[in-house]
């Protein structure tokens, strides 16, 4: 699966992520394309960038469960931390999305549960990944503890 930058990936993510029907506004989107069929398998959207504060929000959507690899994580988080020099990457995740929450925790993110933020019946988790936590994660450092 190859990757590319393209605005169409933000549309792909907006169609899949509940509550994103209005789109992301000013954003940049990275997509992962199936080399065999040229279909989009996953998209990462970087939005709500606050360069003065060094903070950006990230949203992701996929149609496959097997798309996320260490190499892709390095690309996904390399953009905000290495290219934009962000201090923090933030994700908003539904409280019942156990898989995504588990991934973010494994990256070193800290979770904040906000009652009724997603809907009157559902809390939303704000996951915050700092540059330092990402640098110390097993994904950035590798299995042997080296970058």
Determine the pLDDT at residue 35: 75
Split at pLDDT 50, 70, 90, the class of 40 is confident
Q: Which pTM was predicted?
A: 0.89
Those residues with Cβ within 8 angstroms of residue 89's Cβ, 6 or more apart along the chain or in another chain: 55, 56, 57, 58, 77, 80, 81, 128, 129, 134
Q: Name which of 36-40, 82-86, 121-125 the model is least confident about.
A: 36-40
pLDDT at 12: 93
**Which candidate, 22, 63, 66, 70, places its Cα nearest to that of 43?**
63
- Mean pLDDT in residue range 129-133: 98
């Amino acid at each position: 699966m190859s990757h590319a930058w393209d605005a169409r990936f933000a549309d792909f993510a907006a169609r899949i992520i509940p509550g994103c029907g209005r789109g992301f506004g000013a954003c940049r989107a990275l997509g992962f394309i199936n080399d065999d069929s040229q279909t989009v398998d996953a998209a990462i959207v970087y939005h709500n960038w606050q360069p003065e504060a060094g903070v950006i929000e990230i949203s992701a959507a996929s149609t496959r469960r097997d798309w996320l690899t260490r190499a892709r994580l390095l690309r996904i988080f390399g953009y905000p931390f290495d290219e934009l020099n962000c201090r923090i990457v933030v994700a908003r995740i539904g409280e019942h999305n156990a898989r995504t929450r588990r991934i973010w925790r494994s990256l070193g993110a800290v979770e904040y549960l906000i009652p009724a933020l997603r809907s009157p019946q559902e809390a939303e988790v704000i996951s915050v990944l700092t540059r330092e936590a990402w640098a110390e994660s097993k994904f950035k450092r590798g299995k042997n503890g080296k970058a």
